[in-house]
Amino acid sequence: MRHYGIVRQEKSLVPPLLVAGRARAAGRISAAEGLWAVSGVRVFEDLDDLVSSVGVVLGPTPWRRIDAQAIAGFASAVAPAQRFTRVVGHEYDLVSPDFLLSLIPGFVAQMRRIRGMRSGVNYGVDRVVYPSVVHVGDRVRARSTLAAVDWTGPASVALVASTDVEVCSDDEATTDGCRVALRGNLLSRIYC
């Protein structure tokens, strides 16, 4: 049986997203080579288009490999007393559910855009379950279904997106053997 343990906090570790952003700004890598390369984004023309798209499946996003550096960056940004992975020797093994939740905003940016959007508020998640564990080195991706979009004002909507984060390890040759690691309803408000 596997158990979570506490990861030592290293102050010298910089979150990988910040590193990728700095490298893009310096011209060392292109935006397509960054951690959140965007392809297959569904662009909604306005809120009416979004409201009429209930039931549409977005994604899947490109695969993203979970590495120990990303987990260490997450651990250094959050309270050190929380559990993030189990440590085997000096290597990370299991990925924390909190880390998986932190990936969702990046996945959403890879799946949808709304023209004219002024701001969006992440209200959180509802009915989150974690049917499978994720190990360091596994690949993850997300897909989402627009479950409900309701008008809250003349230029704002409440959005519920049923989202799955899928995991696939290297020993699984095809994506048919992949399993759901996180399932939940994303709650958001969108303002145009």
pLDDT tens string 102-127 = 999 899 999 999 999 999 999 889 98
* Domain limits, the chain: 40-66+94-191
Q: State the pTM of this model.
A: 0.72
Query: In this predicted structure, what is the pLDDT of residue 77?
Result: 79
126-139 pLDDT, tens digit per residue, is 989 999 989 888 99
Fold for 40-66+94-191, please state it. Answer: Thiol Ester Dehydrase; Chain A (3.10.129)
Distance CA 183, CA 55 (A): 16
pLDDT-wise least confident of 4-8, 14-18, 95-99: 4-8
CA 67 to chain CA centroid, Å, is 14
* Parallel/antiparallel/unpaired status of strands 112-114 and 42-44: parallel
Phi then psi for 94, rounded to 5 degrees?
-95, 145
Contact 147, 160 (CB under 8 A): yes
